[in-house]
Amino acid sequence: MRPRLLRLLLVAALGASAAAATSAAQQAPPGSAASPASAKSQKKQSKPKREARVTAPREQPPRESKPKVFKGVCRVQKAKPFLKRESFVVKGQLQALPHQRAVKYRVEHYGRLDGVPFEKLNPKNAYAYAKSVRFLGLPIQVHEKVAPALSCVETRIRKTCNAKGRRYVPKAIGGFRQANTYRGGEVSNHLFGIAIDIDPERNPCCGCVDPWPNHRYCKKDVKKVEEKTELTACWIDAFERYGFYWLGRDTLEDTMHFEFLGDPERIIP
Ligand SMILES: [Zn+2]
């Protein structure tokens, strides 16, 4: 036999045994011991798969077109600064343009309100999205888009806010409202179904109109607003974790009130 032919035959034989090892590795049941050679070939094969997974999201359709199913998990997110009351009410004065920007965003995302600007931006009334849910056992109506976020807040409270002597048990809550409670053109987030009030008697609004400032907690000589409410820091943290804003932080010191100021399209991951 000529040396070149011998080399060719050897190469062919080696190739066949490598192929046999690969197919054995593919057929081996999970958990079975594999020889170092087959483990190596498995490693080599899994590489392209990982790369394919990395590039896959680019080929998926845009997020909006895919309805999301709520599985009890929410994205952690912050309130958007331009939606906070402090960005459009400065020293008690409503700032027209920043206020319009915030109202426009709400109409676009949550629905129109009769007599409120930007009605044409959304054909559906906000109240048409009202959803009846329970929050810590109490019935409440909220906008269907923010219901998952509220559910995540509840889960967080149940998991983390049970420290001895600091447990807060709500007795009365309110959500969707159809009459505006603000004066001077400001639009309440209760009208969009994205605000929730908890036990007004125990968590007063010290900067609201009379008789609120006369509440016993508002008359307390304290430095921090947190001392004018029975709500615990743990509760406030749980709400703020999922995009709600505590209006106790505002000059209104509305300690009963939380409003969802995150991105409603980003609640469900
Ligand atoms: Zn409120």
Give CA–CA dist 171/66, Å, rounded: 38
Q: How far is the CA of 222 from the centre of ligand 1 (A)?
A: 23
Q: How far is the CA of 205 from the centre of ligand 1 (A)?
A: 9
Q: How far is the CA of 230 from the centre of ligand 1 (A)?
A: 16
pLDDT value of position 233 = 96
CATH topology for the 81-266 domain: Muramoyl-pentapeptide Carboxypeptidase; domain 2 (3.30.1380)
Task: Give burial (CB, 10 Å; 0-12/13-18/19+) of 232.
Answer: middle
Q: Which amino acid does the sequence have at 163? A: A
Phi-psi map region of 184: left, alpha, beta (phi>0 left; psi -120 to 50 alpha): left
pLDDT value of position 88 = 97
pLDDT value of position 132 = 98
pLDDT value of position 83 = 98
- The full DSSP string for 162-213 is --TT-------EE---SS---STT---TTTTT-EEEE-TTTS-BTTSSTTGG
Give CA–CA dist 119/249, Å, rounded: 30
DSSP reduced 3-state for 214: helix
Cβ pair 77, 263 in contact under 8 A: yes
Q: How far is the CA of 180 from the centre of ligand 1 (A)?
A: 11
Cβ pair 203, 256 in contact under 8 A: yes
Cβ pair 96, 186 in contact under 8 A: no
Q: How far is the CA of 165 from the centre of ligand 1 (A)?
A: 26
Residues within 5 Å of ion ligand 1, judged at the Cβ atom = 195, 197, 257
Cβ pair 81, 105 in contact under 8 A: no
pLDDT value of position 219 = 95
CA distances in angstroms from 208 to 84, 95, 140, listed in the order given: 17, 19, 23
Pick from 224, 227, 228: nearest CA to 212: 228
pLDDT value of position 155 = 98
The pLDDT tens digits along the chain (269 residues) read: 455 544 544 444 444 444 333 333 333 333 333 334 444 444 444 444 444 454 444 555 445 557 789 999 999 999 999 999 999 999 999 999 999 999 999 999 999 999 899 999 999 999 999 999 999 999 999 999 999 999 999 999 999 999 888 899 999 999 999 888 777 789 999 999 999 999 999 999 999 999 999 999 999 999 999 999 999 999 999 999 999 999 999 999 999 999 999 999 999 99
Give CA–CA dist 118/141, Å, rounded: 24
